[in-house]
Amino acid sequence: MTSILNEAHDFSVHELYLNVINPPPPIGDPLNNLAVQIAPGALHDSAERCDAPKCHPETRVAVQGEIYSWIVHGDSDPAQKMVKIKWVTGPAGTGKSAIMGSVADTCKRDGVPAVTFFFSASASPDRRRKTAFIPTLAYQLAEHLPALKDPVAQAIRDKPLLFTKNLRVQMEALILTPLRQVAVESKQPGVVLVNGVDECEVEQYVGSQASPRAGESIERTKDEDQLEILEVLREAALDPAFPFRIVIASRPERVFREFFSNEGHKSSFAPPLILDEKYKPNADIALFLKAKFSEIRRRYNLGPSWPSPEILATLLNQASGQFIYAATIIRYITTSRHGSPHALLDQVLKVKPSSGTNPFSHLDAFYIHILQSAPSPTLAVKWLWSIKGEIPKTPYYRLFHPMSTVPPAFLVNLLLQTDDGDAEYVLGDLHSLINIPPSDNLVTPYRPYHKSLYDFLSSEDHCGPIYVGYMQCTEFLWGRFFDICMHKGLPACRPLDQQKFLRFFFDLAMPGIPRLPSRLNFAPSSVDWWASGCVSHSEDGIRSMFYDVHLECLWYRCSPTCKLWRNSILRHCKKADWEVPSQMWLLRNRFDKFLDADNVLRSTQGKYR
């Protein structure tokens, strides 16, 4: 691997599920340990972000210029010269990610060192959590200031458990202490760009449990994790050894508003940049629409008068300052199979919100229109939730193994479709909402274009007729799980695909369900097939099921479902020489359902992964 990729730079080898950022340090080097802790996809120029939004040329010029000028020259107010943190904020769809991506590009072009972390709620797990945050920053800093490599390596040698510590300890050991040891003259000014901190989720489900147990109090909230990130950045900025300015972009959620307006540390922040009317979003959206319509005219050989200035004005008005609206209608007109650009634009103009005049009402109405153009809108919504591995109104639930990467679309298709070609049937009309890889692509995951889609799908008020709730999503997933267990896999699938699929399937954490509908009456042979497969694939999958099936049982009697699953699980675990819970533990478990099975049900061979 190292021999053929020695000079490798900024590319990814998807077939191997590896992202190679740079030639890895020699084996035995602690920097190797650092390299495996980072979130490669979070870097602004990663392969994972290759289709991330960027500002259209000549748009958002003023706002990009203001951020860039602050990075290079600091604040124009002399009293603020030493301040090293700036917050960029604006509501959903105002183009924050595109602006931050374009600023990162400008820094790269002009040779300004830029260290980046782009959080994303719909990307790989390491971009949704804080775990990889400090290692990723430290790794890039050491790239910019090679003199840091030795002190960073020393820190990792000195503290083998460093990567399990809180962010403050990691920041101190991996970044601040090494910076203090490096000669000042080698420190070029640069910037740390942190985008989408509001999309960072709480670190709750790391470990064997896919979700916190019912009845157990949630110890941390995502606000606390986001606050920890903000605090650690503020402390770094205050440290004289830290040479970079920091730009943080997020939605104006409460935790950010309170943090940046806190009287106690307000003086350490530059005035926030709020993406409001001052930056004339309408002028930029108009530029964007004109450029895109001109591309469409060229592609379809249309006359220059289409669309008319009046129509452009209507679209602009309906966008209410949101780039995401303009970007979505353009994607709709260029990807929909339901007519010519003329006809599609007419459809767009006919879509009117049924009620409400909030800034999102046109975007909501348009999302409804797109989803209703699918042959089965509610099935499409169930797919959209499953693709994200989530369920409405269940913030801590994750279908996919928390440590694995986002699964390729082809595996999700094998899980969700009842027949070949279902994916195209269900999602074929949704190309303006989600990036859908071609069916012969075995590595690329689905990528929803914008977080606002799931904000919309979560709200019954916004979705109206196409809302799909917790129970419908849960039953849908269990229905597929049932079919796959009943057929003992995917009989029609090629053996190699089947192998990949089963590895993915046994790692799934099925949502807890109070009562399965009677049509999902699992036969003992189906359960045995699952238990024996799971024993050889996924310790976590087994424990999660062992725990979940018992949750609804009465203290004096287990439900037939629980008996069936637990007996089968225990039988297969014993056969494979696993440690199994003692009779005493099982008795205690009757009265205390929330007992932790992690230490009493485990493979004696150690972890499989």
| Contact indicator for 417, 454 with CB cutoff of 8 Å | no
Smallest separation (angstroms) from Zn ion to the CB of 557: 8
Site residues for Zn ion, 162-201, by CB under 5 A, read: none
Q: Which stretch binds Zn ion (CB under 5 A): 182-190, 352-360, 485-493, 546-554?
A: 546-554
CB 594 within 8 A of CB 215: yes
Shortest separation between residue 562's beta carbon and Zn ion, angstroms: 3
Q: How far is the CB of 558 from Zn ion (least distance, A)?
A: 3
Question: Identity (one letter) of the amino acid at 594?
Answer: F
CB of 570 to Zn ion, least distance (A): 12
Q: Which stretch binds Zn ion (CB under 5 A): 19-27, 196-204, 326-334, 544-552?
A: 544-552
Nearest CA-CA partner of 229 in 131, 316, 299: 131
CA geometry: angle at 564 spanning 562 and 569, to 5°?
90
Nearer to Zn ion by Cβ, of 386 and 561: the residue is 561
- The smaller minimum CB distance to Zn ion, of residues 326 and 513, is found at 513
Q: How far is the CB of 561 from Zn ion (least distance, A)?
A: 8
Angle, helices 409-416/470-486, rounded to nearest 10 degrees: 80
The answer to whether 558 contacts Zn ion (rule: CB under 5 A) is: yes
**Between 366 and 565, CB nearer to Zn ion:** 565
Would you say 35 or 562 has its CB closer to Zn ion?
Answer: 562
Q: Which stretch binds Zn ion (CB under 5 A): 2-10, 352-360, 501-509, 548-556?
A: 548-556
Q: Could you give the 3-state DSSP secondary structure of residue 411?
A: helix
* Structural Rg of the chain based on CA atoms: 26
Report the distance separating Cα 516 and Cα 512, nearest Å: 10
Q: Which of 44, 251, 550, 572 binds Zn ion (CB under 5 A)?
A: 550
* Ramachandran assignment for 210, one of left (phi > 0), alpha (psi -120 to 50 degrees), beta (any other): alpha
Find the part of the chain contacting Zn ion (CB under 5 A) among 44-52, 232-240, 510-518, 562-570. 562-570
Contacts 24+ apart (CB under 8 A), 553-560: 553/590, 553/593, 555/590, 555/591, 556/590
Are the beta carbons of 463 and 363 closer than 8 angstroms? no
Residue 57 or 524: which CB sits closer to Zn ion?
Answer: 524
Q: Is 562 a residue that touches Zn ion (CB under 5 A)?
A: yes
Among 227, 553, 570, 576, indicate the residue that binds Zn ion (CB under 5 A).
553
Size of the site for Zn ion (CB under 5 A): 4
> Cα dihedral angle (146, 152, 154, 158), rounded to 10 degrees?
180
**Cα–Cα distance, 384 to 381 (Å, whole number):** 5
Which CB sits closer to Zn ion, 337 or 556? 556
Tell me whether residue 144 or residue 593 sits nearer to Zn ion (CB atom): 593
Q: How far apart are CB 120 and Zn ion at their closest, in Å? A: 39
Residue with tokens 């109090």: 217
Residues 451-480 that bind Zn ion (CB under 5 A): none
Residue type, 420: D
- Contacts with Zn ion, residue ranges (CB under 5 A): 550, 553, 558, 562
